[in-house]
Structure 1
Amino acid sequence: MSKNVSRLLASTGSRGDATDVDNGKSSEMAESRTSHHCKSYLLSMVHKLRTNTEVNSWFVDLWISAEKVDIDPVVSKSSARIFRQKAVTYNADNIASCDIFEDKDGGKSVFRLAYFNGHEFKHHDFEADTVMCNEIVQKFNNILELRLSPVRKEYVSNRDKKMMRKRDFSLI
């Protein structure tokens, strides 16, 4: 079938399988349109010691919307009060990056959410199954592309400079 006929069929809607014509881009478009919708994920937070805490005490509820990110701990009665994660909210303009940080055995992955706290860039690491991590990273990246915040631009610029220094140093 010629390209013109494919476009005509896709634009008139006379054929039920117009998704064949869009080369799979409709799911990307749908995802970018729904990026601003609030969605919640239950996952575990990975701490700086690179160990997960007890299953019942360190699960967090991650709420993502186009305006903000909420990290709410799911607290059980047996959780230690000393090391309990506090609920935090970040404005979406302060989110700098979200990337898969590590792939683990057993279908698990860790993603890193980098943010600006007003003085410096910090991050939180979260672990979940790989499919959920990919979905969350895709959602954050769609939001970051739509917002184009100064924080994001500065973070990417700093990351690129650091990569250049590492590359230049390795050439020496």
Structure 2
Amino acid sequence: TTAATTTTTISTMGKPDVSTTAAWKALEVHYEATKDVTMKDQFAADADRFKKFSMKFEDILFDFSKNRINEETMELLYKLAEQQDVTGMAKEMFSGVKINSTEGRAVLHVALRNQSNTPIMVDGEDVMPAVNETLARIKVFTESVRSGEWKGQTGKSIEAIVNIGIGGSDLGPVMVC
């Protein structure tokens, strides 16, 4: 005989796995009901589709009209976000609360983008001075690589960078390069 193992997935803030929620189940039912509707059909049925599902912010266009969504999809997604308290989780993230449940730590990528330099407190300490110092060091290093001042092992300027990474660990070097 084999032993049965039951695993309960817990996400941040003690919530059950999102895929077990009523809002998620409603989205699954909605998907089944709309999965065969084509983009062509959606644009033909609604002349204002682009206007309804796009917005512009400065010179950036967010165009969701060419995604397989409709007004009901958006309502269901809003309900899921509300049920999961996305707003509350975002506030906790920006406040330095340890919401990374798998690693038991704060998610500090927000500190890297904190242009207002508002303090982000983790365990009673503002992490922004350390973040600013690290960003300044990265800037000096990357500028010296780009200018050719920084030399590689052979004494020559670095002309190519090989970045090995995945997921979040890949994004930082890509952004710097």
If the length of structure 2 is used for normalisation, what is the TM-score? 0.20
If the length of structure 1 is used for normalisation, what is the TM-score? 0.20
Higher relative contact order (CA 8 A, sep 6+): 1
Larger radius of gyration: 2
